[in-house]
Amino acid sequence: MQAWLCERTDGPESLVWRTLPTPEPAQGEVRIAIHAASLNFPDLLITQGKYQVKPALPFVPGAEYAGVVEALGEGVTHLHIGMPVAAIAGTGGFATHACVKASQVLPLPPNFKLEDAAAFAFTYGTSHHALIDRAALQTGETVLVLGAAGGVGTAAVQIAKAAGARVIAAASSDEKCAICRDIGADATINYTHENLREALSRQTAGQGPDVIYDPVGGELAEAAFRSIAWRGRYLVIGFAGGHIPALPFNLPLLKGASIVGVFWGDFIRREPAAHARSLEALSAWYAQGKIKPVIDELLPLAELPRAYQRLSSREVYGKLVMRIGV
Ligand SMILES: NC(=O)c1ccc[n+]([C@@H]2O[C@H](COP(=O)([O-])OP(=O)(O)OC[C@H]3O[C@@H](n4cnc5c(N)ncnc54)[C@H](OP(=O)(O)O)[C@@H]3O)[C@@H](O)[C@H]2O)c1
């Protein structure tokens, strides 16, 4: 097999392309011939040693991928050879093959495209858990999505719309705002040029958004929180801006509002039944055409360094997907 290997955690520039023995699945594992793998922000952090999970070196990055089952380890009965599947394994995706625990493999329904499946569970799973489960989003509520043209952001826009909410998408450029309108946002704010608080007040008749979805952090967070509606829920998703914000405690008091942490990786580990229900709901929405991954570019696996470069320069719309072995 061939793979991009992380031998030192000093960033994606240090990844090396290696030819390795094709692994045999251990007990309870399957081997997948990978057809597509997508890039998520944590795939960047993990190569820098900055992610919550720190795998032993060397490892193959690539948290999320899709392909076809090629070999079964002992004891695996619910999957079969030739089955199209997706995997959320944390690592292993930027390669032609991977062995993964059968419990981390999701059989795909008919008509689920492999490149969509490779760009699905991580972002849509996070945004569904955040908006529907953690924030208990109600039909007719207003949701503000920050970093709305990114991976989890585009998923959040689509999920909030599918749930019957009004969506205000905020992003750093007019081009990113246009993408958000294309996928259903009702209104947009370009936070490079517009004052976030003034724009939110104007767009919500002074009431503020009921739910704020924040994968960016940094300076935007306090301005956004100061605009939240009475009984609002502020979803802490991530800190792509690099800076972890801090809030004065009087702000949630004054609005009767909640700061709600979201950690999808631990949610799927601790609450597998709830995670399965979430994926089932998302698959149904995909089949009905209500949600669909926004794929900025499909690239050959050999171009992974360029994909990383695009992700870290903040220029990706939705997701980048590496095409592998097909
Ligand atoms: N809590 C969880 O369970 C969970 C799960 C998945 C991901 N996450 C986190 O969510 C965040 C977003 O992940 P993603 O995969 O959606 O990433 P992404 O596609 O790169 O999107 C991140 C967005 O953040 C904004 N941004 C602001 N400053 C940035 C900077 N210096 N560098 C890069 N982007 C910047 C960009 O939007 P603008 O240019 O419009 O500002 C960008 O579109 C990450 O922090 C990730 O770790 C958390």
**Adjacent-strand bridge partners of 236:** 214, 261
Degrees to nearest 5, angle at CA 314 with 55 and 63: 25
Whole-number Å distance, alpha carbon 49 to ligand 1 midpoint, is: 17
Question: Tell me: the pLDDT tens digits for 166-209?
Answer: 999 999 999 999 999 999 999 999 999 999 999 999 999 999 99
Which alpha helices (H) appear in the chain, and where do they start and end?
Answer: 41-47, 114-117, 121-128, 151-162, 174-182, 196-203, 220-226, 250-255, 264-270, 272-287, 304-312
pTM reported for the whole predicted model: 0.96
Q: Which of 152, 157, 275, 308 to mutate to test the pocket of ligand 1 (most atoms within 8 A of CB)?
A: 152
Q: Which of 237, 259, 263, 315 to mutate to test the pocket of ligand 1 (most atoms within 8 A of CB)?
A: 237
Give me 96's structure tokens. 């032609």
Q: Evaluate: CB of 196 within 6 angstroms of ligand 1.
A: no
Using CA atoms, how far residue 217 sits from 125, 189, 245, in Å, is: 20, 16, 6
Distance CA 211, CA 220 (A): 15
Q: Evaluate: CB of 5 within 6 angstroms of ligand 1.
A: no
Whole-number Å distance, alpha carbon 39 to ligand 1 midpoint, is: 11
In this prediction, residue 88 has a pLDDT band, given cuts at 50, 70 and 90, of very high
The answer to whether residue 52 scores a pLDDT higher than 90 is no
Check residue 242 and give its pLDDT: 84
Residue 205 amino acid letter: A
The answer to whether residue 19 scores a pLDDT higher than 70 is yes
Whole-number Å distance, alpha carbon 237 to ligand 1 midpoint, is: 9
Question: Tell me: the pLDDT tens digits for 97-123?
Answer: 999 999 999 999 989 999 999 999 999
For residue 118, give the nearest of 134, 95, 102 by alpha carbon: 95
The number of helix segments (H) and strand segments (E) in the chain equals: 11, 15
Give me 164's structure tokens. 């019957």
